[in-house]
Amino acid sequence: MTSENNLKKILIYSIPGISSILISTLSILFFLKYFPSIKYANFILQHLFLTIGQGVFSLGLGRIASIKIQNLNRGNKKKIISTTIYTSFFLGIILSVLICLFFIFFIKKYSIFEITLSLLFGLIFSCIYQTCEDIGKGLGYVKVCSVSNIFFFNISISLPAFLMFIQPTNAIIIDYAFEVSVIVKFLTLFFFIKFLFKKKIISFKDIELKKIKNFFYPSIWFTIYAIFHQILYSLDKYFIKISLGASQLILFSLPQQLSQKLGILSQAVCSVILPKLSKNINNKDEILTANIYGVFYFLSIVLIIAIPFLEYVLYFFLENKYNYTITIIFKFFLLISFYNCISEIIINFYHAELQIKRDVKYITFSIVPFIIGLIICTKTKEILTFVILILIKDLILLIWRILSAKKFVKNFQLLIFQIIIFNILYINEIYKNYVSYFVFVILFLFFLIKNSNKDLILNYFSNSMK
């Protein structure tokens, strides 16, 4: 993969995600048409449970291994990778069983979905897959990781909706929708591991536990980060389900799910830059700056052009299920996803330096105010208050992260100023203050030209910068 330039790698990582936008959009329409609200809401929460478990119980082992192997020879790489995957396999099983038993015996009456055997297997597969995918990205298997990603995270979730479209009278599909998803996840994981064996990346004889003995300390911080991250980015859905009900959870989750597709670009960028930043190089500040500004400018221009037309697009797809509240929620979530795309690049910079505890500090200070905010939102009984709370939380976290990495980000003060201008123009568009919107668009474009870092961005994405 080394012969491909940075832009080509990013595009390859992005293709499955771009395809998933169409798949997700169609599947959501089918879910809304064929699935009862309660069933669909529980389906969403079951997959949310897998996402939380995947982030926490993978213990960051794959991410740590992908960083550690960058400066090693093939023999040592193979030993670290083999040991990491087998360790992840056994720990994934043990931790998944323990958490499911904990839910069954201690907090069953507070659970809002049933703990089943399929949920347990789905959690185990998700933990192991996370480790394998992180290692695959670290090795530069761009195409394989991209294809497996779309099957594991997108097709597995969307397939039940398409099956219902083909057989709309088959109620069995509704009852076993989650089981269908788990089967697709298992098959994806199976073929991914088979690929790694075929490439002779892992083997039974190369397991040496001493090779990953220094994983323990960074794993603690990766796990703490994952726990806190899931609280900040998943707890809101449980509050909404409990306080507002299944229909409001769907109204909240669907715009959020689709808007998160903006993250396709940042995830692709991070898949390319993490191995680079993990190496012993001297131009990490240039790599970080080029990627932050590249993503910031590209997404901001896309949103400025597209956001005025979003209402018409949603009306076309949703037809009689459309209401203007969906448009407002969708626009706010696109802005939130925009923040998170930039944040993710900075977070991956921490990961590459194995300094994840820096970001844990910011998240820790955010958790208590966020939970208090969620409690207040439940009292208002208004879904938009939840959305505004998330918007404020993610904007504050983004600015904190930029300031924490300021010595590696060129012209960081102007970047923050541009983010503020972009927020003002965006909110003016949401509330149809079009004169102010166009004034701030012109102001934003002026500072974009003034602070474009054009040469740095072009050098990086043309692969002149290694």
Reference 337, options 421, 405, 266, 287; nearest CA is 266
Q: Is the pLDDT of residue 263 over 90?
A: no
Question: pLDDT above 70 covers what percent of the chain?
Answer: 83
Most confident of 99-108, 235-244, 249-258, 385-394: 385-394
Q: Is the pLDDT of residue 171 over 70?
A: yes
| Nearest-angstrom CA–CA distance, 234 and 393 | 13
pLDDT value of position 3: 41
Q: Is the pLDDT of residue 464 over 50?
A: no
| Nearest-angstrom CA–CA distance, 193 and 180 | 20
Using one digit for the tens of pLDDT, what is the confidence trace for 112-151?
667 788 999 999 999 999 999 888 888 878 778 878 888 8
Using one digit for the tens of pLDDT, what is the confidence trace for 4-25?
566 666 666 666 666 777 787 7
CB-neighbour burial class of residue 41 (10 A; exposed 0-12, middle 13-18, buried 19+):
buried
| Nearest-angstrom CA–CA distance, 38 and 57 | 28
pLDDT value of position 120: 92
For 205, other C-beta atoms within 10 Å of its C-beta total 8
Question: pLDDT above 90 covers what percent of the chain?
Answer: 10
pLDDT value of position 111: 59
Q: Where are the domains of the chain?
A: 1-207, 239-259+267-466
Cα-based angle 207, 208, 211 (whole degrees, multiple of 5): 125
- In the block, tokens 């980000």 appear at 409
Q: Is the pLDDT of residue 322 over 90?
A: no
pLDDT value of position 312: 82
Question: Per mean pLDDT, which range of 52-66, 134-148, 165-179, 261-275 is the poorest?
Answer: 261-275
- Kindly state the tokens that stand for 432: 């149809």
- In the block, tokens 């669907």 appear at 254
Binning pLDDT at 50, 70 and 90, where does residue 354 land?
Answer: low
Residue type, 344: E
Using one digit for the tens of pLDDT, what is the confidence trace for 380-405?
888 889 989 999 998 998 998 888 88
Maximum distance among all alpha carbons in the chain? 68
- Coil/strand/helix, residue 203: coil
- Kindly state the tokens that stand for 66: 């992908």
Backbone angles phi, psi at 190, to 5 degrees: -60, -50
